[in-house]
């Protein structure tokens, strides 16, 4: 089945899609994006992803893009590819113009999408957990906007991999735990979950939101509050959440073993509950 691209209204094989070199996304990372997954042929939380995308467009002062237009473009690309477990990448940049930091407000946003099959995270990592490192958060202070400027995230992930870890977790100058390079972070202590509150320092993850919803449904206590790297080291369980990550157990942070180094029961329970939710409550059938 084909990996496809959508380029301003046209669908084509990915390797045939081209954008002009003066696209501001290319030169200034002046772009926002979303990454949406499907489960058994149904997109998970499409509307929530579109809400977040529109938040980014608004905050950066882009020309608005009607939601029905985006919705139908996504649906067409998704259906044409036909993957049961698809990952749809959507990128909107401010437009194409001769290079200049200032921009005209009349630019036409460029809409690019790709669809590929999601490669499953290896079962060993899901079953036994991952090792992570913490890194100083060097990113800008509007991480609530899902912009394409991901260099700090890429460098942090690469640093983790190069040193034999699976991922990196951003911490502030004061050692506040922010989020992963492409995920949110949860700590569990005494049966209670804690995750960073929704501030401009983190992305409001759609999976994070689904997990908090699940906690409410099954009666798990949680708090959206700041916690430190020391709190992370001392937690009973730690996990990452994200669209591809889902709920991924963390068994090590900076060479500290979390609890006894095993995957905790709440992490397992939430992974199963998220999978069930993804199949039960699709946005698009
Ligand atoms: N990233 N935090 C960051 C910095 C992220 O990049 C992501 C997701 C998340 C989790 O958000 P969600 O649950 O909505 O996927 C948190 C996507 C998957 C990416 O960059 O491809």
pLDDT at 280: 85
* Sign of the dihedral defined by the CA atoms of residues 118, 90, 152, 39, in that order: negative
Separation of alpha carbons 254 and 264, rounded Å: 19
Answer whether residue 4 shows pLDDT above 60: yes
Closest CA relative to residue 134, chosen from 161, 167, 162? 167
Distance 183 CA to ligand 1 centre (A): 5
**pLDDT tens digit string along 101-121?**
999 999 999 999 999 999 999
pLDDT at 191: 98
> pLDDT at position 285, please?
41
The residue whose C-alpha atom lies closest to atom 11 belonging to ligand 1 is: 205
pLDDT of residue 1: 56
pLDDT exceeds cutoff 80 at 284: no
In this prediction, residues 262-269 reach a mean pLDDT of 98
Q: Where are the domains of the chain?
A: 4-117, 123-280
- What separation in Å is there between the alpha carbon of 123 and the centre of ligand 1? 21
Percent of the chain with pLDDT over 90: 96
Homologous superfamily (CATH) of 123-280 is D-amino Acid Aminotransferase, subunit A, domain 2 (3.20.10.10)
The CATH fold assigned to 4-117 is D-amino Acid Aminotransferase; Chain A, domain 1 (3.30.470)
Q: For 216-226, what is each residue's pLDDT tens digit?
A: 999 999 999 99
Q: Is 157 a catalytic residue?
A: no
* Strands, E assignment, the chain: 4-7, 10-13, 31-39, 42-43, 86-93, 110-117, 130-136, 167-171, 177-180, 184-189, 192-195, 222-224, 237-242, 246-253, 256-257
Top mutation candidate among 34, 182, 199 for ligand 1, by most atoms within 8 Å of CB: 182
In the predicted model, is pLDDT for residue 283 greater than 60?
A: no
């Amino acid at each position: 089945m084909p990996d496809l691209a959508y380029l301003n209204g046209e669908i084509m094989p990915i390797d045939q899609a081209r954008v002009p070199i003066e696209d501001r996304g290319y030169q200034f990372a002046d772009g926002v994006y979303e990454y949406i997954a499907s489960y058994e042929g149904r997109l998970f939380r499409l509307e929530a992803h579109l809400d977040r995308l529109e938040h980014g467009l608004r905050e950066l002062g882009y020309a608005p893009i009607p939601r029905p237009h985006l919705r139908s473009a996504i649906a067409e690309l998704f259906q044409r590819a036909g993957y049961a477990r698809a990952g749809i990448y959507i990128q909107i940049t401010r437009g194409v113009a001769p290079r200049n930091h200032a921009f005209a407000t009349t630019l036409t946003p460029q809409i690019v999408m790709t669809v590929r099959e999601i490669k499953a995270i290896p079962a060993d990592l899901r079953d036994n957990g991952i090792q992570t490192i913490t890194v100083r958060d060097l990113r800008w202070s509007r991480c609530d906007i899902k912009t394409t400027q991901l260099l700090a995230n890429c460098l942090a992930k690469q640093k983790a991999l190069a040193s034999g870890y699976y991922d990196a977790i951003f911490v502030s100058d004061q050692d506040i735990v922010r989020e992963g390079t492409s995920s949110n972070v949860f700590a569990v202590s005494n049966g209670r979950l804690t995750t960073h509150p929704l501030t401009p320092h983190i992305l409001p993850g759609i999976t994070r939101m689904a997990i908090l919803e699940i906690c409410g449904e099954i009666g798990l206590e949680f708090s959206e509050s700041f916690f430190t790297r020391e709190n992370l080291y001392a937690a009973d369980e730690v996990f990452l959440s994200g669209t591809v990550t889902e709920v991924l157990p963390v068994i090590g942070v900076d060479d500290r073993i979390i609890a006894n180094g095993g995957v905790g029961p709440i992490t397992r329970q939430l992974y199963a509950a998220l999978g069930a939710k993804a199949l039960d409550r699709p946005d698009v059938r």
